[in-house]
Each structure stands twice: as C-alpha cells, then as structure tokens.
Homo-oligomer: A and B are copies of this chain.
Amino acid sequence: MADLKTAAVHTMTNKSWTLAECCEKYAAAGFGGISVWRNVIEPIGVAEASKIVRSSGLKVPALVRGGFFPAFDPSVRDAALDDNKRCIDEAAAIGAEMVVLVVGAVVGMPLTEARKQVAEGISKLLDHAATNKVKLAIEPLHPMYAADRSSINRMKEARDVCEQLKSPWVGIACDVYHVWWDPDLESEIALAGKQGTLFGFHVCDWRPNTRDLLNDRGVMGEGCIDIKTIRSWVERAGFAGLNEIEIFSTEKWMLDQDDYVKQIKRAYIENV
C-alpha cells in the first residue's frame, strides 16, 4: 500500500489540464507533488507558473524536459544549450529539484557520436545548473526511441556520462517504462545509489500489445512491469524522492480526467 504523499504526477498525464488545474486537482487528490512539463508554463509565463506551483503546497521533483543535445550543425547544438539554460532557469523559478533530460539522437549519426555530444552538451550546463541549484537528470529512454529521441537507452550509458562528468548536479531519472526489460537494471540501480546519481524514479506500465510507440502507456497495474520489485530496488539504493507518475496515453487523455485521476490514485496505492 503506497502512500499518495510519496507520489508526484506529471502534468502531461492530464494533457488537457492547465497548470492551475493540475495543481488544484493533484493537491485535492492527496498527491505529494507535481512534475511540470514546459507546455503548461508556456501559455502563462514562468512568473505566473511559479506563483501557481508555489501556492499549491505541492513538492516539485522535476521540470520536464530539457536535452536534445546532438546535431550535425554546431549552431543547432548551441541553440539547444541556450534552450537548456532557459529550462534550468524555469526549473529554479518554479522550485523544481531537477530538469529531466531527454538527451536526443539524430538519424544518420552513430549513437556513439551522439552520446559524445550529449556528454559535451551537459558539461556546458554544469555551471548554470550549480548556480541555480537545479539538478540535471539523464533519463534513459527505451531502445525503441534510439533513432531520433535518445542515444541513451540503458542505465549503463547514463552512468557512463555521470562517471565522465563527476558532478553532483548530474544524475539519472529511472523510468520503469524505459528500463524494466534491462537484465542489468537491479545492479545499475544499486550502483546509481552508491554513486549518488539516482535523482528520479518514474512509474507507469507497459501494455502488452502496445498500439503506439509514444502514447500508449498503461496505468500502474495494467501492464507487465513488476513495479513493486523495482521500487524496492530503488529504495534499497537509498532513493528518498517522490515517485513520479508519468503516463502518456491517447486512450486515457479521452477519459473524464477527474475519474482518471481517481483511477491513478487507486493504481498507485495498490500497484507501486
């Protein structure tokens, strides 16, 4: 029986809601926190967003998302760095603990080269992150996103970057959806704990017969992921942050969102 106060919900889970609605509904539902996607800040500006989030009483594990570092054109890489710095600024403004990084990949660029550019990109953000006291969490994305979204597809490759940069501001966001299948998951989680890099833990579920690569995630318990076991590994590794619920689902986005939040509550309590 997981305690709702240990959970934060990603605003993208309820895609149709404004930031104000998300804050109000998540707080009323009893969740402990909210992770904010940039698309809900964009229409109102960061000052207003900050006011809304801070008055909600919710903790804010993460602003989502920065990243997309690699590019063939150096000027595109520079533009990405500028955007990542703005992202860090926004995170600091709304009181988010970390920025989640979807690191990027480029069709036609070897993944090894992409990962080099990722490490280089993150290294150029370290000062800005430290100044703003915002952590940077590399999120390994499922190998099915290796073509154009993420050249980091396992905890291991995220660890490689952490070990290379050796900064207290760089760590890993571990999302069960992306890594549940990895035979090295348990040992990599333990290692991230030891290295102090286990910054985030995201939950949802993998539906058998997934109908879409992006937007067909399941609510916890609807799929095949043994979330409780992975959570036990994460806690044994010393993770004490909020467990972030992040579900992209075209099917669920069409539901009455208040009913859907009730379903998520039950699912979290029973299956995380």
Question: A146 near B213 (CB under 8 angstroms)?
Answer: no
A109 nearest in chain B by CB position: B224
Q: How close is A113's CB to chain B, nearest CB, in angstroms?
A: 11
Q: How close is A246's CB to chain B, nearest CB, in angstroms?
A: 18
Q: A107-B208, A208-B107, A213-B210 are in contact. Are A181 and B143 (CB under 8 A)?
A: yes
A225 nearest in chain B by CB position: B147
| A-side interface residues, number (CB < 8 Å) | 29
Question: B111 near A181 (CB under 8 angstroms)?
Answer: yes
Cα distance A43–B215 in the bound complex, in angstroms: 38
Interface 1/0 per residue, A126-150 and B, CB below 8 Å: 0000000000000000111011100
The number of times this chain is found in the oligomer is 2
Question: B147 near A144 (CB under 8 angstroms)?
Answer: no
Question: B156 near A183 (CB under 8 angstroms)?
Answer: yes
Question: A147 near B206 (CB under 8 angstroms)?
Answer: yes
Cα distance A217–B107 in the bound complex, in angstroms: 16
A108: which of B108, B142, B224 is its contact (CB, 8 Å)? B224
Question: A144 near B209 (CB under 8 angstroms)?
Answer: no
What are the residues of chain B within 8 A of A180 when measuring CB–CB?
146
Cα distance A211–B212 in the bound complex, in angstroms: 7
What are the residues of chain B within 8 A of A211 when measuring CB–CB?
213
User: With an 8 A cutoff between CB atoms, is A154 at the interface?
Assistant: yes
- Chain A interface (Cβ < 8 Å from any Cβ of B): 107-108, 110-112, 142-144, 146-148, 153-154, 156-157, 180-183, 206-211, 213, 223-224, 226
List 13 A–B pairs whose Cβ atoms lie within 8 Å, in order of A's numbering. A143-B144, A143-B181, A143-B182, A144-B210, A147-B208, A147-B224, A148-B209, A148-B224, A153-B181, A156-B183, A210-B213, A211-B213, A213-B213
